[in-house]
Structure formats: C-alpha cells, structure tokens
Structure 1
Amino acid sequence: MASPNSGKDTRDNLVDIVTQLYPDALTRTYIVPPVHLARVPYNTDTVPGTGQEVLVLPSSEQLQKQQGNIQADFAQQHVLHNLQQLGDSGKEVMFVVSELNFKDYLNKPFYAKHTGKLPKPATLPKELRHHGKQGDFDILVIHRLYGILVGEIKSVGKTEASRADTEVVKVIDKAVKQLNKCEVHARHMVSDIAPGLTVRKTLFLPYVSQAQLQRILDDETNFKLQQAVCQSLGAANSSEAVQLCCCSDQLSQPASYWHVTPAVLSQLSTWWQHRMACTVDARLTDQLYMDIVARFVGPATTVSVPCYNGVRVEVRTAGQAVAELGRRLALLVLTLQQLDLMNRDPQLVFITGAPGTGKTVVLVLQGVRWLRQGHDVHVISTQYTTRAVSTSIKQQLEMSLSAGPTPSLTPGSVSYHIYDIWNREGDVDQAVTDLVACVKNGRLHVLIDEVSFDSRSKRGPRCTRLVTQLAQQVPHLFLWCAGIENTEIPPALQTQVFTVPLRSAPAVLREIQPVIHRFAVHDYSDSGVPAPGDGLSVIRLSHHGNAHTGRWPLDCAQCGHDIAAELRCLGVGRSVANSPSRLSYRDVFVLTRSGDLHDDVTDEAGRVTSPASGVVQGLKDAGVPVSVLGYQDWLHNRARLERAVQDVAVAATDTVTVARYHYVTGLERRVVAVLQGRNQDDDDKGLTDEWTDRDDRLVAVSRCTTQLITVRTPPVTTTPPSLTTTTTPATTTTPRHNLIQQPLPPPSPPRPPTPPATTTTTTAKRRGGRKCVLS
C-alpha cells in the first residue's frame, strides 16, 4: 500500500490508494467490508488427554443469552445482501459501508500529519455537541449521483417476543435519535469539501411490515414518535414516512435471505426510488465522489471486523474478506456432541456425516490422545483417493509430537500404511497381516479416513472385511474411522453422526445442499449458532465465446485465463502491506472430474510429447504457478505424482493445485474453482447429467471453505440430449432439514487408477520444536 507523500495533496494520496483497492469504484457497487462477519459466541475447552485447546459451539441455554447479538448480526447480513443485489442489478455506482464507528474515521496515526486538520467527530461544532461524539454508522451509502444515505438497522420483530407494537415503538424511538446523530456526523465529516451535500436517512426494519409500521405511527398514543420519524426522514406525513423506510415487504424472506427474487428486487427498487427521489446532486463530480469515498474507506480510516476474542481485524477488499473468513472457518471448532464423544472415548467408532462436519478433525484429535497415552498410531490409506487426506492426518499427528511429552509417559510413534483395496483384493489380507504384526500388549490403535461400507462398490465389502477381521484378531482393537456414506456399517462399530457444518461458508453449502438427498449421506442440520460469515457470492464463469476452445473447460486455455483473472481480483499471491489477511496460491484448488487432466508430458530428453491440458496451460500463461494432480501422471510420471500428493496434503508449496477432485477428498482450500459439467469420460461411461452434477457438488464443491468459482459448459441444443449439460439452479429456497432417514445411495464411482504394487509402511519418529496446529 502506498504511503503518504508530502509533495502531494492529501486527497490525491488517499484517492490513489482507494483506486488501487477498488479499481471499479466509478462503475459498480462495493460493500465494505465485503462480507459481514458475525460475533460467534464460542466457548473454550481442552480435549481430554490431548492438551489441545479448542473452541466449542455454545449450548442452547448459552445461545439464549446471546440472542440480541445473534439477531443483530443476522439483520445486518440480511440487509447488506439485499443492498448488494440492488446495487448489482441496478448498476448503481456506490459504496455501502457497514458498522463504521465514528472513532475509526481518519484515525490512523500514520496519516495524522495529513489528516490532522480535517473535520472529525472530535471537532464537532459546539452547537452540535449535544448529539454526542460517540456512535457508529450501521449503514453509510456514498452514491455517485445521489450523495449520502445513512441508515439504522433494527432486528426488532425477528422473534415472537419482539413483534409487539410496544417493542417496535421503543426501538424506533431510539433509532431515530441515532439516525439524527449519524446525519450530523456525516455532514460534519465532509463539510470542508462538500458543504451542503445531500444527506438522506432511512430505517431498515427487515422484520417489521409496512402495515405494522403504519399502524404504529397512526396510533394516537404515538403522536410524538410520528412527528420525530417524519421530521427525521423529511416526510410530510406518516404514509410518506413508511414509504421511506425499508421494511420486510421490500426484502427477501429471512429463511432464505440470500434468495433475492425478481419480485423482491422490484419492491426494493421502488423503495430506493422513493428514498433517493432520483434527485441528482449536481455538486457531485467524479473527483468529489472519490474524495468522499477515500475519507470513509481509505487507508486513513480503520475498516475492521470483530473477532470472537474481542480483537478487530482490518478487512477492506474481497480478497481480504475471503482470507479472514477462511481463517475463521479453519479454527479448531467442535460441537458439544463431538466433545462428548471425545470424553466418552469408545474403542470402535465410525463417524459419518456430510462434508465439512468435522470428521477428520476428530480423528486427528483422537490420534493425538493415543500418542500422548504412549500408544503407536497407525494411519491407513485404503486406496489412492485417500492418499492426500491420510498424509495430512499423518503430518498433523507428527506435529503433535513436538508439543511436548506427557509428563509420565513416552509418546507413541506414527506409522503410515498404504494399500489399494479397490484394485487389489489381496491388499485386505495384507493389511490385516501387517497390522496384526504391529500389536503391542494386545493393543492396536488405527485411524482410517474416507471409508465406505456400501456393498454396491468393490471397496465397500473390502472395507467391511478389513474392519471385521481386525476386530476378530486383535483382542484390544482401538479403531476410529470416518466417511460420508452411512449404509451397511459393520455392527462392531459404534456410529456417530455429525450434521453441523463447520468448515464451509453458507454460500458454499447452498451449492451442496440440493444434492445431499440423492446420496446415502446425512443432511446438514442447523445448530442455531451463526456461521462466522455467509461468504461471498459464487463466481460463475462460462466456457463459451470466441476465445474459448475445446468442448470442455478442461481443454480450454481461455478458461484458465478467466480463472486467473478472478484470482488476481482476489489478490491471490499478492502481498498487502499492513494486512494480515491475504491469499496465497496454496489457498487455491482448481478441480475437475476428468481423467484427462495432465501437465506437460515429456520424454527422456525433456521434449514435450503431450502438452498440458488447456486450463493448466492458460493458468501458466497468465503467470499462475500450478501443480497438477491427475490420472495421466500415473501413466507417465508416478514419482512426480507421489511428490505432488505429499505436497498438496500439507500445502507445502505456494502453487495452485489443479487436480482430479477424487484425489483431494478430505482436503479443503479457501478458494476452489470447479470445472463443472460433462466431459468425454462421462460420455464414455454413459453417466447422466444428474449424476455428474451431484458428484461435482458433493465431492468437488465441498472442498471449498469460502470462495467458490464454477466454470460450466452451457447447454448445446444442437447435440443429442445425452451430451447436453443441464444447469442446476445456483440457489435453493429450501431450508435445512433434519436427517434423511432412508437416503438413496449413489451409483458406484468411477474406477480410480491402479497405483504401484508395493505396500509401504513408514514410521515417523518423535520430533521436537513446533507445536501442533490442527486448524
């Protein structure tokens, strides 16, 4: 970020930096901060036997005490989402700033020399000081044509207890006073450059209808309130005042706040026209607009969001928002159910649940406990598609050894066993033989992630046989395993069902949820605890247009360029001065279901015999460093593929991983681009559009925590129906359900590649130095 230059005017300095942060400031709507980050009321606890401190979701009783904050956060998010849709659909040029505290305006000491004489809350004229110097803007809209709009958001009416007219009256009375204060401060803050600038006010009441508001204002006992509201909003009467307020009639439904329908947009636009009156403020030029924007969201003003621990973090741009929300979603968070499971510590456990519900995290914590108790832990990879997540578990367990030994015990060691029971049935017997040989004092401690017991695939019966034979042959077997499918679970295992989503933002979950019922997978449930943030809108790209080549996005260099352009917009790989929130290339997956994915294939002389897949080449040409994890490497360079698996498991190299998505099951990244739709493999296998779509969503989209990018091939009407891509709606208004009792299991997945025939067992020795980091 640039620093102040004593040789330039302060305005120019601030505007230059704002232009770098928001390059389309004169053509589009920006929300600042780009996402609303909620105040999640976590508790802290320590997992027994591990020494690992975790955050725990609160109980229902504790949530009741936090309802005020939870409802206020929800209302803020609800309104901001609708304003974003209003701005985008109407091509409004404006900045919508939320929750900006007066004290944060032009408060950066670094810029004090250049902003010291500018109007601030502390310099409010004496005749206006009765309004007070403390406060904040719930909503501050800076519009290129219409000037400034200040708004107060009130969550009154969200619950049955707050819907009574008396409650609404109390809240509105307070809100009007706050609005008047905000208007005074907004005018004062720009008085030196825009005296007399148009400043309008409004109330956002997302859970109060216009009819209720009209009834309240017309009530004779509320005459003083009616006068105060009309005076504050500049309305001639109560009916006009109601039209100037944004009520539930103009906003999306709370149960599906993200789904802003055309009908809602029409109502919202009507309110906007009433409130802004389509009166252009002739004093506003591009320069003045940018000067005002630079004051409120520029580097001299603190634009921050709250954290659960009371600290505030600066978040200005979309990339910073993705980075910060991704960081929060990666925190080590458990539900009360998961903590209870760890406290009970059963011997034989199968954990099932939809992606992102904390299955792998619990396996790692259990492994840490066993190590601290002095037991050796055996991590099993049952086939190639589980290599990456199994390697990740192994690495986290190894790191836990450096956190310090249990005072009276020598920690155990970690062993990693690689098998391929999909392609080699004999590996089941080999695995049993190997593991039985590892028994110490009659005990064996085993972790297996991404297992399935479904008898309709080859893997299912073989996983069942592995677990059953180990239970029969080892007197004291301690085996914890996990997988998303919930069918035909061996009776020896105690089943634990996780349904609370912990690892993906709701905007991502809404892409997964429509297909959950098509699989043998338990649906997500609502814990009542707000997610750290809703997430940014899905970025939807299309493999279509003159610059695009090939039938599928995988074969198209332009699709690679398009993805690279979105990564640049998010600031991926670009350092941001004075900002802890940034995205690296290692935070990104580009995923496809195709087996044709490959990097350049070279001969012994280093000559390229088969060029990289188009999307890979496009990313490279755009300057994005990539690592490829694809089927073709099995045919040409298995050693490179093994190294890539090790690398991607721990994100060791700062590169974008382009992978066949079955190979990264169990791993997550903050930014994920999914090459959706059909490809040649699907045609060859006769797979339906419905099947490929649900596989894309459940297996690939679920790898994303924060920012999802989709690249889809549009329907081709000139081809036979079997080759036509059916586009599934991006959002659904269906609320979360309880568990599906009898879900339909999916067809067997495509056969994975055959890995090398050797069975490998490696042992990790105890290391010192670093503390275990499980998040």
Structure 2
Amino acid sequence: MASTQAGLVHPGDGLFEKVVNDWYPRLEERAYFVPPVHFNMVRYDTHHVGGQHSPHTDQVQVLVPKAPVKTKRKREQSVLMSDVQNDRTTQRLRACLRALAEEQNEVMFVLSQLDYGDYLGEPCYSAAVRCFHSPKDFVQEELKGKDVFHRGDFDILIFHREYGVLVGEVKTVGDNFSILDLTQKQQDAIVAKKVEQAVKQLNKAEKVLAHLLSDLQPPPRVRKSVMLPNIARSQLQRVLHNNPQLEEAVCQCMAVQRGVNPVDMCLCADELSNRNTPFDLTDDVMTKLVVWWRHVMTSQCPDTSFKAHYRSVVARFAGPATTIKVFSVSKPRLHVHTEGEAVSEIGRCFTQIILHPDQLEVLQRDQRLVHLLGPPGTGKTVVLVVRAVKWLQDGKRVTIISPRGFRSRAAACIIYDQVCNMTDSVVHHNLNRLHTDVMKDTSVKETLQRLAADKQGRNDEFFGVIDESSGNTDYAHPGIDNQFSKFCEELKNLFGDLLHLWVASTTKIDAPDWLDQVPLTESLRSPPVIVREIKQSVYFASDQCPQYREGSAPPPSDGPPVRRLYHTAGRDGHCGEDLGQCVQCGVDVCGYLVTDLRVGVKDASRPPRSAVSPDPLRYRDVLVVSAESSLTDDVTDPNTDEVVRPASGFVRGLRQGCVPVRVVKSGDDAAVEQMARMDGPDAVVAADSHVVSGIERHVVVLLGSEESTPFKDARFDLISRCSSQLVWVLPSSR
C-alpha cells in the first residue's frame, strides 16, 4: 500500500510495508507490542576465575550482576534504584495492557519508550524516508534558539486500527512513598508537579505526532492519557481538587468533556495489578481497566479514516527505518523489533556464564567435598563447570561422572564440552568422562573396578563432579537417593582423604552428611516468567526442593509470555486424546514457530539495519518434549526404505510445514550427545523426556497437561529446560 498526499507517492512506504508484513503477519488480527518484551537495566562486573597458578589470560571470564545503588559516582557504570523502579513500572503497565488487549480482542500496535529521534532515524534508509516528515525538521516557534523540539519520547504510543492514536505519559511517582517519611501534603505536592510535567509532555507529543502524520488526510485523532501506575485514584482526585488550575490543564490536555471526571481518563494504580504480583490481574482489576479503556478510547466514535492508514503508520513507526532500542550491556545499540528477535536475545542473556556473588565465594573457598542444592536454573551446572576448569588449570585429573545412565548423559556431555571450550587443549588429556547407573549394581561395580584399576600404582587425588544426581520425577524410585548415597560412600572408601567431589541436585537427596551442603536459590538460567511456572510444581509444596529467592539485582527481562495452544479433540482438525499423535497440533505449533517467531529465517532475507540485532532463531534452538508419551520417528524397511510405521502425528504436522525434525530416543547415546552439543543438521529436536536433563533451549514446546504430581511433573522437569519462550500444548478445557 502506498501512502499519498496530493498525488505524491512515498516510495518508502511500500518498502517498509513489505517488511512489516513479514515481521507482524497478524497485524490485522491481534495486538502487537514493540519491543515485544521489556529489557531491564542490568550491569555486570567481570571476574576472572581459574587455577591458582594459571595466567590471567587463561582464566574463565564470568559475569556477576551488580546490585542497584541509590546514587552513583561520575563515570560509574551502575544501575540506580530509580532505574529499577522505572523498569518495574513499565513492565507492570505493559503486562496489564497486554492482558487488556487479549481480554477485549483489540487489534492495535503498542510502542513503548520510543525516542522521537529514533523515528525513521536509521541512516541506511535515509533516501527512502526523505519524503516523510521528521521530528528533526520541526521546531516549536517559541523555542527557536533555545531548544530543539524533537527531543523527547513516547512513553506509550498505541495505534488502534478502529479508534486511532493514544499517547500515554507515564510517571513512576509514588513507588517509594511507603519508605519515605512524607506528609500527605508533601506527597500531593510531588504528585501535582509530576502531573503538570505529564500534561506538558503530552501536549508536546501531540504536536510531534500531528507533524509526523500530517501527510495523512484526514489527520488521525490523537487521544491522550496521564498514566500514574503507583498513585491511587483517590489521591489524584484530591490533588486535582486542591489545584483547580492543574485540573483545568488536565481537562484541556485530554479533551475531557463537560460532566466527565478527568480522573476517569487517567490510568491509576486502581486499574492495574498489584506491584508485588504485576502479572496477576484479578477479575476486579480487569473490570476497572476495561472501564478506563472505554473512557479514553472505545466509548468515543471510531476513527474510520485511520483504518486505511493503520498498516502504513505501523510500517513507519515500527519498520526497519525506525530504531527500536532496548537496554544491552554487550552491544551499544540493539534493535529488537520482532518476537523472534526478543526470544533470541533473552535466550542469549540467560545462557551466559553468570554467577552470583555467593557462588563466586563458594568457588574461591576451594572446598573439597560439596553438595550444591537448588531448584532448576540456579547455576549449579555453571559452578561445576568453573570448578572443573580451576582443577584442570592446576594440573589435576578431572572426572565428570554421569550417575544415572542415559538420563544424565546429556548433562555430563554439556559439562565436558564447556570445560573443553574454556581451557587450552594441552590439558584436555586430564579430563575424563565416566558413565554409570547407580540403580544398577553391575554398573556401579564396573565403575568402581575401573577407578580402582586406574588408581593402582598411583597415589593421586581424585577430582570429580557429578551433575543431575537426583532423578527426574518420571524416574522417581524409592531407593534412588539411597543408591546414590551408597555410591558416594564407595568413592570415599576408595579414595579416602584424596577425594575431591562436587555434587549438584535439584531435590533434597539422601546425600552423605560429609558433603558440605551449599544452597543455590537465585534463578540465573531461566527468565522469571518460566520460574513462575516452575514454582507451581508439587515439589515445592512438599518441601522436596528449596524455594527460589529473589536476587539482589534484577534479571535481564521477565521474558516473553507463555504461549498456550489447545488440543480441541474432535474439532478444528484435532483428533484423538494423545497430543503427540495429533497432526493438527504439530501444524499449529509449526505456524507459530515459522510465522510468529520466524524460526529458520536466514540472515540474507533480513532487511538491512545499521544497528546490531539479535541472531535469528535456528531450528536447533527449539526443543519439543512430551510429558505424556514418547514421540517417534518414521520406521522404514531396511531393504526398501519404505515407511512401515509413520512418525508421531505431531512430528508429521511439523514436517508438513517444512520444519526439519530430528527425533532423539532414550538409549541412542550418539544422538543424545549430538543434541547436547547442538551438533548435526539444523533441525528441531523432539526428544524423550528421560534424556533432556541439563539441556537448555531458547524455545521449548511442551506437550502435556498442567497437572503436577510426584511421579509426573512437567513443570519441574521439562519447563526448566527453557531459557526464553515456552510453548505449551494443552488438552482443551473448553
């Protein structure tokens, strides 16, 4: 679609719309938020960890989150408490607007924290946007010679297909009132000042928008709202009542009609979720939020002319020529336009080598016998890896033990490969892997005999690390903990005081009391949206696993919302009760992966951008796992290559959309290790739930119910494999 003014064709519009059609394929059907998720301001200190005698250049570089500070010194790279408060408020506001859009089925495009100067500001598109109006060529007359009018930003900018434009000015005032010793009069004075600022900024934003969209005829209707997420309606009502001039300014700014309470046009704490549970909206809060939305937006007549311009306007404000910046430590400027880019970047953030200060302290203490205990995603494996690196750099022989047969093979493989990647190849001959199964007496006996034979003629110390020492819940067995404890005792009997052993588990196993228990409970490897799902596991209610605790520094992001898809047996092409055998479920997931997340899109097909953008999601970034039944691949006749038994319906559904799928089964050690290393062809991995311990993927597709029982708990075992986007295929409750 071309945008015209008096017969003038704007060549950039068509170019941008083509990209937008790819980036936002359901633009006419649903709400989009850009950036798709909010990225928090987080700073890290860099620490080098290595052997006692290893040079600085050989030591492992780890990131340690920096706690926010109240004030910072000049040139200090720190995050202020006020930044944290702003992040929390923005995140909460976006979550509520997203819930509103889903509840009301609104078709709209929501931009947050867009600087005026970033609109059509990409240098590589300067020729294509030359015919559009820019903030830089608009200076308010009374400010000439004093200030340029293009400085500023849109806190919240909503383009609604039916009702036009809404611009919101957000003020986080009130977030710290509870800890400040202020009188009501002092609080009200602060609120009044912030409301006055918001009115001025909204009026400015309206003029900027009028200039940027002046080529559209008729010009779109611009609505405005003061947004005070931490201020109650009653307090705002009192402030306006005591300040008649301010109340008049608010009414003029938001075009409040006679007889309408101006507070109804403002978004206050009453219409939003609780600050302590920002992602939980009660029915009462949703009702109030919908009332505000109707007051400010949908109660008025639709802007019928804007519907024709909707796609074109989105193409300008959220297309490749506009910079959508998010906070990033490692990259000076980071573009994140699409959901797939957000998922990729969040996955990268949560899979870095990050340690909390207490974990760093554990490594520096150099203890001999340690049991790391903590819920999934708290960095236990990372600590084991760094521990093994330190030993290896000190010239020690290190053994990585897989204690539960094929169930812990992937975890041991990951530790082995990460240690190799962090150390010089000249020391790799001192790194060994040992596979055993503590539930099988013959396997344990063979392992101990091998270790005893290796010990013959040597009096060396034994340095070993064991991950995933507690079994997955689907492998729960009354004697597994006891058997593992016996195995540890055998190691101690064999090596005595020469034993150095570090063990990690997620549940409270019956570990020997001579292992010093070190709790690790701050989440590091999964975003909070995933942690909230894991917390609903029966294992926390039964006190079999330590509870998560909040860290001193905020996470990089809350993460993308969980995407739930439903298996409607007997309807919409879905068949049977087994989700793994439903072809339509595979087709639905394929559509989401390819269309919404753009998995598998090659770099060559991406539009040029001068700023850095996250890596596109690959097929191998996706893990499919079923909590109900195993997924199978085609079985072929070895003589004719004909398929004698087709793959699971879900696998066939993915392949119908040309998504390559590799099925990994229990017992196929080579395939399990290839999955752990992310080797082989670029393909989605569909794996048995028994073999995914230790695996991390940016996208996890989970098939199964939300039911949590001691012997089948997908929340604890499988969701924790996700470092970014969870796609949950569920039996329909409708």
Compute the TM-score of the two structures, normalised by the length of structure 1: 0.83
Q: Tell me, what secondary structure is at the counterpart of 2:535?
A: helix
Contact 2:585 2:653 in 1 (8 A): yes
Q: Distance in 2 between matches of 1:452 and 1:657?
A: 24
What displacement does 1:249 show?
0.7
Task: From 102, 108, 122, give the equivalent of 1:88.
Answer: 102
1:380 corresponds in structure 2 to: 401
Task: From 451, 454, 458, give the equivalent of 1:435.
Answer: 451
Contact 2:380 2:520 in 1 (8 A): yes
My pick for the range that moved more, 655-664 or 465-474, is 465-474
Q: Distance in 2 between matches of 1:60 and 1:449?
A: 32
1:676 corresponds in structure 2 to: 704
CA distance 1:715–1:166, change in 2 (3 Å): closer
1:571 corresponds in structure 2 to: 598
Task: From 531, 538, 560, give the equivalent of 2:555.
Answer: 531
My pick for the range that moved more, 604-613 or 205-214, is 604-613
2:76 corresponds in structure 1 to: none
Task: From 439, 442, 450, give the equivalent of 2:468.
Answer: 450
Q: Distance in 1 between matches of 2:428 and 2:71?
A: 39
CA distance 1:265–1:620, change in 2 (3 Å): same
Contact 2:420 2:428 in 1 (8 A): no
CA distance 1:528–1:206, change in 2 (3 Å): farther
| Residue 156 of structure 2 is aligned to residue 139 of structure 1 | yes
2:726 corresponds in structure 1 to: 708
What displacement does 1:552 show?
0.7
CA distance 1:143–1:316, change in 2 (3 Å): same
Contact 1:48 1:342 in 2 (8 A): no
CA distance 1:92–1:604, change in 2 (3 Å): closer
Contact 1:676 1:693 in 2 (8 A): no
| Residue 418 of structure 2 is aligned to residue 396 of structure 1 | yes
| Residue 667 of structure 2 is aligned to residue 645 of structure 1 | no
Residue type of the alignment partner of 2:584: Q
Contact 1:505 1:705 in 2 (8 A): yes
Compute the TM-score of the two structures, normalised by the length of structure 2: 0.88
Q: Tell me, what secondary structure is at the counterpart of 1:599?
A: coil
Q: Tell me, what secondary structure is at the counterpart of 2:126?
A: helix
Q: Distance in 1 between matches of 2:543 and 2:656?
A: 39
1:206-250, CA deviations, whole angstroms, 9 ceiling, x for partnerless residues? Answer: 11000011111222xx44433433332233689722111100111
| Residue 582 of structure 2 is aligned to residue 559 of structure 1 | no
1:428-476, CA deviations, whole angstroms, 9 ceiling, x for partnerless residues? Answer: 2322232344455431110111113999633322211221122232132
The answer for unaligned runs of 5 or more in structure 1 is 1-5, 635-640, 679-688, 717-775
Contact 1:26 1:286 in 2 (8 A): no
| Residue 308 of structure 2 is aligned to residue 287 of structure 1 | yes
Residue type of the alignment partner of 1:711: V
| Residue 533 of structure 2 is aligned to residue 511 of structure 1 | yes
Identity of aligned residues (%): 35
Q: Tell me, what secondary structure is at the counterpart of 2:46?
A: strand
2:321 corresponds in structure 1 to: 300
1:373-398, CA deviations, whole angstroms, 9 ceiling, x for partnerless residues? Answer: 11121111122100111111111112
The answer for unaligned runs of 5 or more in structure 2 is 1-7, 52-57, 73-78
Contact 2:633 2:646 in 1 (8 A): yes
Q: Distance in 2 between matches of 1:392 and 1:534?
A: 26
| Residue 617 of structure 2 is aligned to residue 604 of structure 1 | no
2:4 corresponds in structure 1 to: none
2:171 corresponds in structure 1 to: 154
CA distance 1:52–1:563, change in 2 (3 Å): same
1:417 corresponds in structure 2 to: 434
CA distance 1:195–1:311, change in 2 (3 Å): farther
Q: Tell me, what secondary structure is at the counterpart of 1:597?
A: coil
Residue type of the alignment partner of 1:649: A
Map 1:661-740 → 2, pairs under 5 A: 661-677=689-705, 690-691=708-709, 695-714=713-732
1:580 corresponds in structure 2 to: 614
| Residue 280 of structure 2 is aligned to residue 259 of structure 1 | yes
| Residue 34 of structure 2 is aligned to residue 32 of structure 1 | yes
What displacement does 1:149 show?
1.2
1:499 corresponds in structure 2 to: 521
| Residue 289 of structure 2 is aligned to residue 268 of structure 1 | yes
| Residue 59 of structure 2 is aligned to residue 57 of structure 1 | no
1:685-725, CA deviations, whole angstroms, 9 ceiling, x for partnerless residues? Answer: xxxx6427951111011111211111222469xxxxxxxxx
CA distance 1:60–1:108, change in 2 (3 Å): closer
| Residue 650 of structure 2 is aligned to residue 615 of structure 1 | yes
1:650-673, CA deviations, whole angstroms, 9 ceiling, x for partnerless residues? Answer: 111321111122211111111111
1:486 corresponds in structure 2 to: 508
| Residue 80 of structure 2 is aligned to residue 66 of structure 1 | yes
How many residues are matched? 685
CA distance 1:601–1:196, change in 2 (3 Å): closer
Residue type of the alignment partner of 1:612: A
Q: Tell me, what secondary structure is at the counterpart of 1:139?
A: strand
Contact 1:351 1:483 in 2 (8 A): yes
What displacement does 1:309 show?
4.3
CA distance 1:47–1:203, change in 2 (3 Å): farther
Q: Distance in 2 between matches of 1:281 and 1:62?
A: 46
CA distance 1:263–1:346, change in 2 (3 Å): same
What displacement does 1:8 show?
7.6
Q: Tell me, what secondary structure is at the counterpart of 2:709?
A: helix
| Residue 93 of structure 2 is aligned to residue 79 of structure 1 | yes
Contact 1:662 1:699 in 2 (8 A): no
Q: Distance in 1 between matches of 2:484 and 2:711?
A: 27
Contact 2:67 2:553 in 1 (8 A): no
What displacement does 1:63 show?
9.8
Q: Distance in 2 between matches of 1:559 and 1:411?
A: 45
Residue type of the alignment partner of 1:57: P
Contact 2:402 2:434 in 1 (8 A): yes
What displacement does 1:297 show?
0.7
Contact 1:28 1:93 in 2 (8 A): yes
Q: Distance in 1 between matches of 2:175 and 2:721?
A: 33
Contact 1:591 1:673 in 2 (8 A): yes
1:355-407, CA deviations, whole angstroms, 9 ceiling, x for partnerless residues? Answer: 111011110111111111111211111221001111111111122233x77xx
Residue type of the alignment partner of 1:96: V
Map 1:101-116 → 2, pairs under 5 A: 101-116=115-130
1:130-186, CA deviations, whole angstroms, 9 ceiling, x for partnerless residues? Answer: 673211111111112222111111222222246832332333233222222222211
Q: Distance in 2 between matches of 1:300 and 1:393?
A: 42
Contact 1:205 1:245 in 2 (8 A): yes
Residue type of the alignment partner of 2:638: E
Contact 1:145 1:280 in 2 (8 A): no
| Residue 22 of structure 2 is aligned to residue 20 of structure 1 | yes
Q: Tell me, what secondary structure is at the counterpart of 1:313?
A: coil
Residue type of the alignment partner of 1:476: L
Task: From 138, 145, 169, give the equivalent of 2:192.
Answer: 169
Map 1:172-211 → 2, pairs under 5 A: 172-194=195-217, 196-211=219-234
My pick for the range that moved more, 100-109 or 603-612, is 603-612
How much is the aligned-residue C-alpha RMSD, in angstroms?
2.6
Task: From 235, 239, 257, give the equivalent of 1:216.
Answer: 239
Q: Tell me, what secondary structure is at the counterpart of 1:114?
A: coil
Contact 2:50 2:389 in 1 (8 A): no
Q: Tell me, what secondary structure is at the counterpart of 1:53?
A: strand
Residue type of the alignment partner of 2:202: L
Q: Tell me, what secondary structure is at the counterpart of 2:713?
A: helix
Q: Distance in 1 between matches of 2:68 and 2:212?
A: 43
CA distance 1:303–1:238, change in 2 (3 Å): farther
Residue type of the alignment partner of 1:52: V
Contact 1:102 1:134 in 2 (8 A): yes
Q: Distance in 1 between matches of 2:299 and 2:352?
A: 46
Q: Distance in 1 between matches of 2:287 and 2:93?
A: 15
| Residue 642 of structure 2 is aligned to residue 624 of structure 1 | no
CA distance 1:297–1:644, change in 2 (3 Å): same
